[in-house]
Structure 1
């Protein structure tokens, strides 16, 4: 029943994104790690907004807070804030060219990272470093591949 509804494959895509967020990388590559969970959430919010909404985003944000060891709710707030324009304009985003989608995804990832930084700075005294913005660039590059991979995955497992 759950496989037919596509729930398990959907949950597995979230799990894969969470694992990719904490997968150990060499220090040089660590600063370039794409924002995998944000990319996966943006895709599902555009593709199936009737199934993936604010509750999903909030739960995944809280799980991310736990995984990243940040203040409880920081990632949740940032993800909910970027989910709003995606859900509001999902039809527009679907019909944009890939280049336009890449630019929008870059702006969304930048907005999410800015919110997380500001909250971390206010709560924990985090200091800004330009390397904090590198994942915006790699996320923009990764969007094309994430989009293609998840689109094929969605069709293969009939996630609707």
Structure 2
């Protein structure tokens, strides 16, 4: 039990990466929540001294490699939103889970707009509204992600 304590954060990020790239049916795939962003957002709010910008940067690079996007796109977007969360973690911790879900929705919107902007500069893609569906699903799933990761953090006494 104590040995697993040291790996809970890394394992939760690994599960988020797997969920991010897991194949899904074409009808459901556009609604896939931003699992990696949600998990890193939780750990940044809960333990900003352990998970912050460096972790976001490295995992963003891993996500870029797994998704086959231009190297650094997800890394920059994830780093930017993690910076915003890390700078405001004391304030955001005091909000209720539903208020945090709204903030997470705004953060997810920033994340997707940064990715779109970077891909627009690099690959000349066009914006379609369906690109923003993960913002809504991430916002809706935040209370469950928050509850699950909080339970893990308390069960393993991660500080």
Unaligned runs of 5+ residues in structure 1 are: none
With a CA cutoff of 8 Å and minimum separation of 6, indicate the structure with the bigger relative contact order: 1
Q: Deviations over 1:112-149 (max 9, x none)?
A: 00000110111012221211100000000000000000
The 2-side partners of 1:68 and 1:123 are apart by 16
Q: Deviations over 1:34-92 (max 9, x none)?
A: 00000001000000001112111110111011011111100110011111121111111
User: 1:14 and 2:13 equivalent?
Assistant: yes
Q: Deviations over 1:4-47 (max 9, x none)?
A: 6x331111000000000011111110000000000001000000
Return structure 1 stretches of 4+ with deviation > 2 angstroms: none
The 1-side partners of 2:58 and 2:156 are apart by 23
Corresponding residue number in structure 1 for 2:89: 90
The 1-side partners of 2:124 and 2:6 are apart by 39
Normalising by structure 2, we get a TM-score of 0.96
The 2-side partners of 1:89 and 1:127 are apart by 32
Corresponding residue number in structure 2 for 1:72: 71
Normalising by structure 1, we get a TM-score of 0.95
The 2-side partners of 1:17 and 1:50 are apart by 20
Unaligned runs of 5+ residues in structure 2 are: none
